[in-house]
A and B are shown apart, each in its own frame.
Chain A
């Protein structure tokens, strides 16, 4: 299995609070991604990174920000959590653009 660790694995937070999810990899892969998975929608890209300090938006980026200060860490921040952001969040890594990607175990986030 690819060395990807997401933390926390589960979190319950209140509406309006900031939340940060962490993705840590030990594979030295260049590309990192944050997805959310919701019933009926499948996996949707939030943000991705193509190198340290190089990030870009995906299709559902509103309300989310990211940072990548080191190759191994990719952080996803919800500045002010809303109930619509209740979801399962997956981090993925890839060492070649557009080729196989490997997923972390996911973070189940509930915003109440």
Chain B
């Protein structure tokens, strides 16, 4: 059965901390791994990774994919209260499927 598992389920940190969110997957016909941020509304797209070992960066956020070990991490450095959200990991596959994890809820305390 295809699945995506995220950990931890929730996380509380203080502003300025660095956090690492994990996503492991077992999906046949893999095409891409996607990260989204969801703040009480629609998921907003952060990153798409398709190749192993290549880091994607956007400001304080970065992500990397390991296709051999079937996982990805999302790092957020110097966290801010605006980073508080649910972070979703998804795997895109052939056959028009996206498999979503249940998300990691991040709370950043001032």
Contacts and interface: CB of A to CB of B under 8 A. Distances in A.
A90 interface: yes
A98 B48 contact: no
A102 B94 CA distance: 17
Q: How large is the interface on A (under 10, 10 to 19, 20 to 34, 35 or more residues)?
A: 20 to 34
Interface residues of B, number: 25
Interface string B74-107: 0000000000000010101111111011110000
Question: What's the dominant secondary structure at chain B's contact region?
Answer: strand
A104 B45 CA distance: 11
B92 A101 contact: yes
Interface in A62-112: 90, 92, 97-106
A35 B32 CA distance: 19
B67 interface: no
Contacts of A45: 97-98
A106 to B, nearest CB: 5
Contact of A105 (B42, B88, B96, B103): B42
B96 A50 contact: yes
Interface string B44-79: 110010100000000000000000000000000000
B16 interface: no
Interface of B: 29, 31-32, 34, 36, 41-45, 48, 50, 88, 90, 92-98, 100-103
